Structure 1
Amino acid sequence: MVGGNLRRLRTAAGISLADLAAAGGIGKTTLHGIELGQANPTLSTLWALATALKVPLGELLEAPASAVEVVRATDDRPRAEGDAVGARLLHRIRIRGTVEVYDIEVAGAEQHSDAHLPGVEECLVVTEGSVTTGPADAAAELEAGDSIRFDAASPHVYQGTGTRNHAVLLMLHPEP
Protein backbone atom coordinates (compact mmCIF):
# COMPACT_ATOMS: atom_id res chain seq x y z
CA MET A 1 0.00 0.00 0.00
CA VAL A 2 2.83 2.42 0.89
CA GLY A 3 4.43 2.04 -2.53
CA GLY A 4 1.19 2.69 -4.41
CA ASN A 5 0.39 5.72 -2.25
CA LEU A 6 3.90 7.07 -2.70
CA ARG A 7 3.75 6.72 -6.49
CA ARG A 8 0.23 8.28 -6.62
CA LEU A 9 1.23 11.25 -4.46
CA ARG A 10 4.55 11.80 -6.28
CA THR A 11 2.83 11.72 -9.66
CA ALA A 12 0.02 14.03 -8.50
CA ALA A 13 2.64 16.50 -7.24
CA GLY A 14 4.50 16.35 -10.56
CA ILE A 15 7.77 15.31 -8.90
CA SER A 16 10.19 13.00 -10.68
CA LEU A 17 11.53 9.86 -9.02
CA ALA A 18 15.03 11.37 -8.96
CA ASP A 19 13.86 14.66 -7.41
CA LEU A 20 11.85 12.96 -4.67
CA ALA A 21 14.73 10.60 -3.89
CA ALA A 22 17.08 13.58 -3.53
CA ALA A 23 14.58 15.53 -1.39
CA GLY A 24 14.05 12.49 0.84
CA GLY A 25 17.76 11.76 1.15
CA ILE A 26 17.54 8.26 -0.32
CA GLY A 27 18.74 6.60 -3.50
CA LYS A 28 16.64 6.60 -6.63
CA THR A 29 16.87 2.79 -6.81
CA THR A 30 15.66 2.50 -3.21
CA LEU A 31 12.72 4.83 -3.89
CA HIS A 32 11.84 2.85 -7.01
CA GLY A 33 11.89 -0.36 -4.94
CA ILE A 34 9.58 1.22 -2.34
CA GLU A 35 7.14 2.30 -5.04
CA LEU A 36 7.13 -1.23 -6.47
CA GLY A 37 6.51 -2.73 -3.02
CA GLN A 38 9.88 -4.50 -3.07
CA ALA A 39 11.46 -2.58 -0.19
CA ASN A 40 10.50 -2.11 3.46
CA PRO A 41 11.21 1.55 4.31
CA THR A 42 12.04 2.66 7.84
CA LEU A 43 9.84 5.14 9.67
CA SER A 44 12.48 7.85 9.25
CA THR A 45 12.53 7.24 5.48
CA LEU A 46 8.73 7.50 5.33
CA TRP A 47 8.80 10.74 7.37
CA ALA A 48 11.41 12.19 5.02
CA LEU A 49 9.35 11.26 1.95
CA ALA A 50 6.11 12.60 3.46
CA THR A 51 7.88 15.85 4.32
CA ALA A 52 9.30 16.12 0.80
CA LEU A 53 5.80 15.56 -0.63
CA LYS A 54 4.29 18.00 1.91
CA VAL A 55 1.68 15.46 3.06
CA PRO A 56 0.88 13.93 6.45
CA LEU A 57 2.56 10.57 7.12
CA GLY A 58 -0.87 8.93 7.17
CA GLU A 59 -1.26 9.69 3.45
CA LEU A 60 1.50 7.14 2.81
CA LEU A 61 0.14 4.56 5.26
CA GLU A 62 -3.64 4.58 4.66
CA ALA A 63 -5.60 3.35 1.69
CA PRO A 64 -7.03 6.23 -0.35
CA ALA A 65 -10.68 6.94 0.40
CA SER A 66 -13.26 5.44 -1.92
CA ALA A 67 -14.37 7.75 -4.73
CA VAL A 68 -18.01 7.50 -3.58
CA GLU A 69 -19.18 6.96 -0.01
CA VAL A 70 -22.90 6.68 0.78
CA VAL A 71 -24.07 6.75 4.42
CA ARG A 72 -27.68 5.77 5.09
CA ALA A 73 -29.73 7.26 7.91
CA THR A 74 -30.02 3.75 9.36
CA ASP A 75 -26.25 2.98 9.24
CA ASP A 76 -24.52 2.44 12.57
CA ARG A 77 -21.89 5.21 12.69
CA PRO A 78 -19.66 6.54 15.49
CA ARG A 79 -21.53 8.84 17.89
CA ALA A 80 -20.64 11.37 20.57
CA GLU A 81 -23.19 12.55 23.14
CA GLY A 82 -23.24 15.78 25.14
CA ASP A 83 -25.72 17.40 27.52
CA ALA A 84 -27.84 18.85 24.70
CA VAL A 85 -26.31 17.59 21.44
CA GLY A 86 -25.82 14.13 20.00
CA ALA A 87 -23.55 13.92 16.97
CA ARG A 88 -23.23 11.11 14.42
CA LEU A 89 -20.11 11.12 12.23
CA LEU A 90 -21.15 10.97 8.56
CA HIS A 91 -17.91 11.58 6.65
CA ARG A 92 -14.29 12.52 7.34
CA ILE A 93 -12.96 14.67 4.54
CA ARG A 94 -9.32 15.73 4.48
CA ILE A 95 -8.75 18.95 2.60
CA ARG A 96 -6.53 21.97 2.47
CA GLY A 97 -8.57 24.74 0.94
CA THR A 98 -12.08 26.13 1.10
CA VAL A 99 -15.39 24.58 2.12
CA GLU A 100 -18.60 26.15 0.81
CA VAL A 101 -21.87 25.17 2.54
CA TYR A 102 -25.18 25.45 0.68
CA ASP A 103 -28.80 24.86 1.68
CA ILE A 104 -30.31 23.49 -1.53
CA GLU A 105 -33.73 22.56 -2.90
CA VAL A 106 -33.77 19.85 -5.55
CA ALA A 107 -36.66 19.77 -8.05
CA GLY A 108 -37.87 16.75 -10.02
CA ALA A 109 -36.09 17.65 -13.26
CA GLU A 110 -32.74 15.92 -13.75
CA GLN A 111 -29.79 18.33 -13.67
CA HIS A 112 -26.49 17.31 -15.24
CA SER A 113 -23.49 19.12 -13.74
CA ASP A 114 -20.22 19.30 -15.63
CA ALA A 115 -17.01 18.15 -13.99
CA HIS A 116 -15.49 20.61 -11.54
CA LEU A 117 -11.76 21.28 -11.23
CA PRO A 118 -9.55 18.35 -10.13
CA GLY A 119 -9.63 17.81 -6.38
CA VAL A 120 -13.11 19.26 -5.82
CA GLU A 121 -15.37 17.00 -3.75
CA GLU A 122 -19.07 17.28 -2.95
CA CYS A 123 -20.77 16.04 0.20
CA LEU A 124 -24.57 16.13 0.31
CA VAL A 125 -26.84 15.37 3.29
CA VAL A 126 -30.53 14.99 2.46
CA THR A 127 -32.62 16.73 5.12
CA GLU A 128 -36.10 16.31 3.58
CA GLY A 129 -37.56 14.21 0.78
CA SER A 130 -35.38 12.10 -1.49
CA VAL A 131 -32.67 12.89 -4.02
CA THR A 132 -30.76 10.94 -6.65
CA THR A 133 -27.22 12.28 -6.94
CA GLY A 134 -23.59 11.39 -7.44
CA PRO A 135 -21.33 10.63 -10.40
CA ALA A 136 -23.36 10.32 -13.60
CA ASP A 137 -22.31 6.68 -13.94
CA ALA A 138 -22.89 5.78 -10.26
CA ALA A 139 -25.71 7.99 -8.90
CA ALA A 140 -27.30 6.89 -5.62
CA GLU A 141 -30.89 7.28 -4.41
CA LEU A 142 -30.87 8.99 -1.01
CA GLU A 143 -33.62 9.48 1.57
CA ALA A 144 -33.79 12.05 4.40
CA GLY A 145 -30.85 11.43 6.73
CA ASP A 146 -28.72 9.73 4.05
CA SER A 147 -25.54 11.33 2.75
CA ILE A 148 -23.04 10.92 -0.06
CA ARG A 149 -19.48 12.10 -0.69
CA PHE A 150 -17.93 11.95 -4.16
CA ASP A 151 -15.22 13.33 -6.42
CA ALA A 152 -16.90 16.14 -8.36
CA ALA A 153 -14.16 16.25 -11.00
CA SER A 154 -16.36 14.06 -13.17
CA PRO A 155 -19.88 14.75 -14.51
CA HIS A 156 -22.57 14.28 -11.88
CA VAL A 157 -26.35 14.50 -11.54
CA TYR A 158 -29.04 15.84 -9.22
CA GLN A 159 -32.73 14.95 -9.27
CA GLY A 160 -35.37 15.30 -6.57
CA THR A 161 -37.59 12.23 -6.33
CA GLY A 162 -39.87 13.32 -3.47
CA THR A 163 -42.44 16.11 -3.28
CA ARG A 164 -40.20 18.50 -1.24
CA ASN A 165 -36.47 17.82 -1.44
CA HIS A 166 -33.94 19.72 0.66
CA ALA A 167 -30.29 19.03 1.40
CA VAL A 168 -27.13 20.56 2.76
CA LEU A 169 -24.36 20.58 0.15
CA LEU A 170 -20.69 21.02 1.04
CA MET A 171 -18.36 21.88 -1.84
CA LEU A 172 -14.75 21.19 -0.90
CA HIS A 173 -12.17 23.09 -2.94
CA PRO A 174 -8.46 22.25 -2.50
CA GLU A 175 -5.83 24.95 -2.20
CA PRO A 176 -4.71 26.17 -5.62
Structure 2
Amino acid sequence: MLIRMDVGQVVGGNLRRLRTAAGISLADLAAAGGISKTTLHGIELGQANPTLGTLWALATALKVPLGELLEEPASAVEVVRSADDRPRVEGDAVGARLLHRIRIRGTVEVYDIEVAATAQHSDAHLPGVEECLVVTEGRVALGPADAATELEAGDSIRFDAARPHVYEGLEERNRAVLLMLHPEP
Protein backbone atom coordinates (compact mmCIF):
# COMPACT_ATOMS: atom_id res chain seq x y z
CA MET A 1 0.00 0.00 0.00
CA LEU A 2 1.35 3.44 -0.90
CA ILE A 3 0.58 6.67 0.93
CA ARG A 4 -0.77 9.80 -0.74
CA MET A 5 1.72 12.61 -1.43
CA ASP A 6 -0.07 15.12 0.87
CA VAL A 7 0.45 12.64 3.69
CA GLY A 8 4.03 12.27 2.43
CA GLN A 9 4.80 15.82 3.57
CA VAL A 10 3.46 15.07 7.05
CA VAL A 11 5.36 11.76 7.22
CA GLY A 12 8.57 13.44 6.09
CA GLY A 13 8.33 16.18 8.67
CA ASN A 14 7.47 13.73 11.43
CA LEU A 15 10.35 11.41 10.50
CA ARG A 16 12.85 14.27 10.54
CA ARG A 17 11.48 15.61 13.86
CA LEU A 18 11.43 12.20 15.56
CA ARG A 19 14.84 11.17 14.22
CA THR A 20 16.41 14.43 15.37
CA ALA A 21 14.72 14.23 18.79
CA ALA A 22 16.03 10.68 19.21
CA GLY A 23 19.55 11.76 18.23
CA ILE A 24 19.71 9.22 15.39
CA SER A 25 21.66 10.01 12.24
CA LEU A 26 20.08 9.71 8.80
CA ALA A 27 22.47 6.83 7.98
CA ASP A 28 21.69 4.94 11.21
CA LEU A 29 17.91 5.22 10.79
CA ALA A 30 18.15 4.19 7.15
CA ALA A 31 20.16 1.09 8.12
CA ALA A 32 17.73 0.24 10.95
CA GLY A 33 14.78 0.63 8.56
CA GLY A 34 16.41 -1.45 5.84
CA ILE A 35 16.43 1.36 3.25
CA SER A 36 19.09 3.52 1.64
CA LYS A 37 20.15 6.83 3.10
CA THR A 38 19.08 8.51 -0.18
CA THR A 39 15.60 6.98 0.06
CA LEU A 40 15.22 8.10 3.68
CA HIS A 41 16.38 11.60 2.78
CA GLY A 42 13.73 11.71 0.02
CA ILE A 43 11.05 10.54 2.47
CA GLU A 44 12.06 13.24 4.98
CA LEU A 45 11.82 15.87 2.23
CA GLY A 46 8.31 14.63 1.38
CA GLN A 47 9.49 13.68 -2.12
CA ALA A 48 9.07 9.91 -1.79
CA ASN A 49 6.07 7.64 -1.51
CA PRO A 50 7.06 4.97 1.04
CA THR A 51 5.20 1.70 1.41
CA LEU A 52 3.43 0.70 4.60
CA GLY A 53 6.20 -1.85 5.24
CA THR A 54 8.85 0.87 5.08
CA LEU A 55 6.88 3.08 7.44
CA TRP A 56 6.44 0.22 9.92
CA ALA A 57 10.18 -0.48 9.80
CA LEU A 58 11.02 3.19 10.41
CA ALA A 59 8.47 3.51 13.23
CA THR A 60 9.90 0.38 14.84
CA ALA A 61 13.45 1.73 14.52
CA LEU A 62 12.34 5.00 16.14
CA LYS A 63 10.38 3.08 18.83
CA VAL A 64 7.18 5.02 18.13
CA PRO A 65 3.68 3.95 17.06
CA LEU A 66 2.99 4.12 13.32
CA GLY A 67 0.47 6.90 13.99
CA GLU A 68 3.31 9.17 15.13
CA LEU A 69 4.53 9.18 11.52
CA LEU A 70 1.10 9.58 9.90
CA GLU A 71 -0.60 12.19 12.08
CA GLU A 72 0.13 15.89 11.91
CA PRO A 73 1.77 17.10 15.13
CA ALA A 74 -0.53 18.86 17.58
CA SER A 75 -0.54 22.62 17.53
CA ALA A 76 2.21 24.22 19.60
CA VAL A 77 -0.48 26.00 21.64
CA GLU A 78 -3.83 24.48 22.61
CA VAL A 79 -6.34 26.63 24.50
CA VAL A 80 -9.52 25.21 26.05
CA ARG A 81 -12.09 27.72 27.29
CA SER A 82 -14.32 26.98 30.26
CA ALA A 83 -17.38 27.20 27.99
CA ASP A 84 -15.96 24.87 25.30
CA ASP A 85 -17.93 21.72 24.63
CA ARG A 86 -15.45 18.98 25.57
CA PRO A 87 -15.96 15.26 26.30
CA ARG A 88 -17.52 14.84 29.74
CA VAL A 89 -18.37 11.86 31.94
CA GLU A 90 -20.41 11.78 35.13
CA GLY A 91 -20.19 9.50 38.15
CA ASP A 92 -22.07 9.43 41.46
CA ALA A 93 -19.84 12.08 43.05
CA VAL A 94 -17.47 13.26 40.31
CA GLY A 95 -17.99 14.86 36.92
CA ALA A 96 -14.93 15.06 34.66
CA ARG A 97 -14.32 17.13 31.53
CA LEU A 98 -11.34 16.22 29.34
CA LEU A 99 -9.14 19.29 28.86
CA HIS A 100 -5.97 17.97 27.21
CA ARG A 101 -4.40 14.64 26.26
CA ILE A 102 -0.65 14.78 26.67
CA ARG A 103 1.59 11.93 25.55
CA ILE A 104 4.84 11.83 27.44
CA ARG A 105 7.59 9.51 28.55
CA GLY A 106 9.25 11.26 31.42
CA THR A 107 8.28 13.25 34.47
CA VAL A 108 5.22 15.37 35.24
CA GLU A 109 5.53 18.00 37.97
CA VAL A 110 2.29 19.47 39.35
CA TYR A 111 2.29 22.93 40.93
CA ASP A 112 -0.35 25.08 42.61
CA ILE A 113 0.70 28.59 41.55
CA GLU A 114 -0.26 32.17 42.25
CA VAL A 115 0.26 34.72 39.49
CA ALA A 116 0.79 38.30 40.67
CA ALA A 117 -0.65 41.30 38.82
CA THR A 118 2.65 41.86 37.00
CA ALA A 119 4.44 40.17 34.12
CA GLN A 120 7.09 37.47 34.47
CA HIS A 121 9.12 36.54 31.39
CA SER A 122 10.53 33.00 31.42
CA ASP A 123 13.41 31.85 29.25
CA ALA A 124 12.96 28.78 27.08
CA HIS A 125 13.15 25.46 28.91
CA LEU A 126 14.94 22.41 27.54
CA PRO A 127 13.67 20.93 24.24
CA GLY A 128 10.61 18.75 24.69
CA VAL A 129 9.36 20.47 27.87
CA GLU A 130 5.68 21.40 27.77
CA GLU A 131 3.56 23.38 30.20
CA CYS A 132 -0.14 22.80 30.79
CA LEU A 133 -1.98 25.26 33.01
CA VAL A 134 -5.58 25.37 34.28
CA VAL A 135 -6.71 28.71 35.71
CA THR A 136 -8.65 28.17 38.93
CA GLU A 137 -9.18 31.79 40.02
CA GLY A 138 -8.86 35.22 38.41
CA ARG A 139 -7.56 35.98 34.93
CA VAL A 140 -4.08 35.60 33.44
CA ALA A 141 -2.29 36.25 30.17
CA LEU A 142 0.23 33.54 29.42
CA GLY A 143 1.86 31.32 26.87
CA PRO A 144 4.58 31.85 24.29
CA ALA A 145 5.96 35.39 24.57
CA ASP A 146 4.97 36.17 20.98
CA ALA A 147 1.44 34.79 21.38
CA ALA A 148 0.28 35.14 25.01
CA THR A 149 -3.39 34.25 25.50
CA GLU A 150 -5.79 35.73 28.03
CA LEU A 151 -7.48 33.07 30.16
CA GLU A 152 -10.05 33.13 32.97
CA ALA A 153 -11.07 30.64 35.65
CA GLY A 154 -11.87 27.29 34.06
CA ASP A 155 -9.79 27.94 30.92
CA SER A 156 -6.63 25.96 30.21
CA ILE A 157 -3.63 26.11 27.90
CA ARG A 158 -0.92 23.70 26.79
CA PHE A 159 2.21 24.90 25.00
CA ASP A 160 5.79 24.13 24.06
CA ALA A 161 7.86 25.68 26.86
CA ALA A 162 11.09 25.30 24.89
CA ARG A 163 10.59 28.87 23.72
CA PRO A 164 10.37 32.09 25.74
CA HIS A 165 7.03 32.48 27.50
CA VAL A 166 5.24 34.89 29.81
CA TYR A 167 2.94 34.82 32.84
CA GLU A 168 0.91 37.89 33.82
CA GLY A 169 -1.86 38.20 36.41
CA LEU A 170 -4.73 40.39 35.27
CA GLU A 171 -6.64 40.56 38.55
CA GLU A 172 -5.67 41.07 42.17
CA ARG A 173 -5.82 37.32 42.94
CA ASN A 174 -4.92 34.75 40.26
CA ARG A 175 -4.36 31.04 40.86
CA ALA A 176 -3.77 28.04 38.63
CA VAL A 177 -2.60 24.44 38.52
CA LEU A 178 0.56 24.10 36.43
CA LEU A 179 1.82 20.81 35.00
CA MET A 180 5.44 20.80 33.84
CA LEU A 181 5.98 17.90 31.44
CA HIS A 182 9.62 16.78 31.12
CA PRO A 183 10.52 14.12 28.53
CA GLU A 184 12.90 11.32 29.38
CA PRO A 185 16.51 12.39 28.90
Q: TM-score range by the shorter chain?
A: over 0.9
The CA distance in 1 between the partners of 2:30 and 2:115, in whole Å, is 49
Tell me how far 1:40 sits from its aligned partner. 2.8
Determine the structure 1 residue equivalent to 2:179. Answer: 170
* 2:148 paired with 1:139: yes
Residue type at the aligned position of 2:130: E
**Aligned twin of 2:28:** 19
1:78 maps onto 2:87 in alignment: yes
The residue that corresponds to 1:8 in the other structure is: 17
Q: What's the TM-score once normalised by structure 1's chain length?
A: 0.93
- In structure 2, what is the Cα distance between the partners aligned to 1:157 and 1:134? 6
Structure 2 unaligned residues grouped into runs of 5+: 1-9
TM superposition shift of 1:29: 3.1
**Equivalent in the alignment of 1:160:** 169
Question: How many Å apart are 1:160 and its aligned residue?
Answer: 1.0
Q: Give me the whole-angstrom Cα distance separating, in 1, the residues matched to 2:58 and 2:66.
A: 9
Aligned length: 176
Q: Report the equivalent of 2:125.
A: 116
Which amino acid letter does the alignment assign opposite residue 107 of structure 2? T
* CA-to-aligned-CA distance 1:93-151 (integer Å, 9 cap, x gap): 11110000011111102111121111111000001111111111111110000001111
Work out whether 1:29 is the aligned partner of 2:44.
Answer: no
Aligned counterpart, 1:106: 115
User: Does 1:67 find its partner at 2:76?
Assistant: yes
3-state SS, counterpart of residue 47 of structure 1:
helix
User: 2: distance between equivalents of 1:165 and 1:144?
Assistant: 9
**Counterpart of 1:77 in 2: which secondary structure?**
coil
Distance 2:89 2:29 in 1: 41
Partner-residue secondary structure (3-state), 2:158: strand
- Partners of 2:123 and 2:46 in 1: CA distance: 37
CA distance in 2, matches of 1:48, 1:7: 15
Q: Which runs of 4+ in 1 moved over 3 A?
A: none
Which segment is superposed worse, 74-83 or 139-148?
A: 74-83
- Pick from 137, 161, 164: which aligns with 1:128? 137
Q: Using the TM superposition, name which of 22-31 and 98-107 deviates more.
A: 22-31
1:55 equivalent in structure 2? 64
Cα distance in 2 for residues equivalent to 1:18 and 1:148: 38
What letter is aligned with 2:69? Answer: L
Cα distance in 2 for partners of 1:85, 1:62 equals 33
% identical aligned pairs: 89
In structure 1, the gaps of 5 or more residues are none
Distance 2:92 2:50 in 1: 46
Q: Distance in 2 between matches of 1:138 and 1:168?
A: 20
